[in-house]
Amino acid sequence: MQSFSFDAGIYLLELFLYKPYKIEIGARGKLSFPPGYYYYVGTAQKNLSARLKRYQEGPANKHWHIDYFLDRAIIKRIFAREVGAEEECKLAEKLLNLKETEMVHKGLGSSDCQCPTHLIHSPNPLASEKIEEVMPE
């Protein structure tokens, strides 16, 4: 498991679906997802390492949209920054504004804010340099 020297901040999960799936996303029902890479932006302003461990091990109880998505997706990379929760939505917006990304379903991962989504799709992986450009300092 990847670890960080801090235990509060925002994180970015790079996830991969190798084929199209219909995934039951809680009350949202079955949603179709194309294959490719997905970027999920979240925050853990305490216990960041426990949150990331939970995702990597597969959550026993499903609370959030991402928990359902992780039934099918593979975690490829994890990025995190020791910044305030306000940076979570800014990062989601920057990712969504990249020419190589798109929103597949409105409202996923963003039910507690006004963002269009916090789960962003790209047919190909984003270069590490591109991710570092959009991550907050």
Q: What is the pTM of this model?
A: 0.95
Is the pLDDT at 3 greater than 80, yes or no?
A: no
pLDDT single digits (tens) 52-76? 998 998 878 888 899 999 999 999 9
- Asked whether the predicted pLDDT for residue 86 surpasses 90, the reply is yes
For residue 128, the Cα-to-chain-centroid distance in whole angstroms is 16
Q: How far apart are the first and last CA of the chain?
A: 23
For the beta carbon of residue 107, count every other beta carbon within 10 angstroms. 15
Task: Show Cβ contacts of residue 137 under 8 Å, excluding neighbours closer than 6 positions.
Answer: 81, 83
- In angstroms, what is the C-alpha Rg of the chain? 14
Please state, for a pLDDT cut of 90, what percent of the chain lies above it. Answer: 77
Decide if 46 contacts 21 (C-beta within 8 A). no
The one-letter amino acid at 50: A
With cut-offs at 50, 70 and 90, classify the pLDDT of residue 112.
Answer: confident
